[in-house]
């Protein structure tokens, strides 16, 4: 019979849920251990006393490795390989797990303000050693208590836990400095402008092709979600609206040369449907392409 996971479930399923937490202060199987999942980032938060964690290497010839998290601190782990995480003793601690992709998406637009160790752990390859972070005073007390004793029930619990996790991440993972805050804001603006400029260049060079948000985000160097949000905030229009405007402006230029009819101009800028092209043209230019051509 396999040992049970350590502690007691607070919310979520450690194997299936993108976000979950377990209370290690609750008695459990002394031999309990969690197999390390390669797509997860773990947060071990020690409340009132130090916590000893044990990483067991399940590969042939592998050895156990112990690490200690001091009271009022947290260890962040992003591990790979055949490993199990266990705890030799019941501890006043909470273990939080998140899918790496979810955390990466949440932090994408906030990279400059993150603690350096957190930034490396989330956006680099991760490693075998835990990243130790000192907790804000509210985490071991109020937030850990609220995670253990949610004041809401039913459908509101999931919403509540998500808000508490975001509060925890905000207090745990960022550099708490006014000067850094100013630097962070200005750098964020520069980074956003740079990425939108790259996105525009990508769109102009792939104007006749079907919009591929994944490919564009990869070329720009950020997630599709972040790129869509940043592009809209910077330009005042969605990526799709911007592509439509670019295509129609180019089509209009082709029509006025007299060398292209409406159908040819539509195909030249990536439209396969003449009716879709005519509708888009009228929305952008205020008249049908046939009238524009005649003018």
* Structure-block tokens of residue 224: 């599709």
**Model pLDDT, residue 1:** 47
**Model pLDDT, residue 155:** 81
Tens of pLDDT, residue by residue, the chain (295 residues): 455 678 888 998 888 889 999 998 876 655 568 888 878 899 999 888 888 888 888 888 878 888 888 888 899 998 877 788 888 778 889 999 999 999 999 998 888 888 888 988 888 865 557 888 888 888 887 888 888 888 888 888 888 899 999 999 998 898 866 544 555 566 667 778 888 888 988 998 888 888 888 899 888 888 888 888 888 888 888 999 999 998 898 888 888 888 889 999 989 888 888 899 989 898 888 888 888 865 5
* 8-176 CATH: 2.60.120
Strands 93-99 and 33-35, sheet pairing: unpaired
* 241-294 CATH: 1.10.10.60
The sheet that has 19-23: what strands, in order across it? 8-11, 19-23, 93-99, 40-46, 73-77, 131-134
**Model pLDDT, residue 185:** 60
pTM strictly above 0.95: no
Q: Which of 256, 47, 254 is nearest to 142 (CA)?
A: 47
Backbone angles phi, psi at 67, to 5 degrees: -140, 155
Map out the domains of the chain as residue ranges. 8-176, 179-236, 241-294
* Structure-block tokens of residue 189: 């603006």
Residue 113 is given by DSSP the state: G
* Structure-block tokens of residue 214: 């994944």
241-294: same fold as 8-176? no
Asked whether 216 and 199 are in contact (CB, 8 A), the reply is: yes
Strands 51-57 and 40-46, sheet pairing: unpaired
- From CA 85, how far away is CA 78, in angstroms rounded? 12
**Model pLDDT, residue 42:** 92
């Amino acid at each position: 019979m396999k040992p049970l996971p350590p502690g007691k479930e607070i919310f979520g399923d450690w194997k299936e849920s993108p976000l979950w937490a377990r209370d290690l202060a609750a008695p459990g199987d002394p031999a309990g251990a969690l197999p390390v999942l390669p797509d997860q980032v773990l947060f071990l938060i020690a409340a009132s006393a130090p916590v000893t964690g044990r990483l067991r290497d399940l590969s042939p010839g592998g050895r156990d490795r112990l690490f200690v998290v001091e009271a009022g601190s947290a260890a962040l782990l992003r591990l790979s390989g055949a490993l199990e995480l266990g705890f030799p003793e019941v501890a006043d601690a909470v273990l939080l797990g998140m899918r790496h992709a979810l955390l990466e998406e949440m932090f994408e637009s906030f990279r400059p303000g993150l603690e350096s160790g957190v930034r490396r752990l989330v956006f680099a390859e991760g490693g075998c050693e835990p990243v130790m972070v000192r907790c804000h005073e509210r985490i071991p007390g109020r937030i850990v208590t609220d995670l253990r004793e949610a004041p809401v029930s039913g459908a509101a619990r999931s919403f509540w836990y998500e808000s508490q996790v975001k509060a925890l991440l905000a207090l745990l993972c960022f550099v708490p400095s006014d000067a850094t805050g100013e630097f962070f804001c200005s750098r964020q603006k520069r980074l956003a402008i740079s990425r939108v400029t790259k996105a525009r260049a990508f769109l102009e060079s792939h104007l006749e092709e079907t919009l591929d948000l994944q490919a564009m985000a990869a070329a720009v160097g950020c997630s599709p979600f972040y790129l869509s949000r940043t592009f809209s905030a910077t330009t005042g229009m969605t990526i799709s609206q911007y592509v439509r405007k670019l295509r129609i402006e180019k089509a209009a230029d082709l029509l006025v040369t007299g060398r292209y009819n409406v159908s040819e101009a539509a195909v030249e800028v990536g439209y396969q449907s003449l009716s879709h092209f005519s509708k888009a043209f009228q929305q952008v230019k205020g008249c049908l392409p046939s009238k524009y051509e005649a003018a």
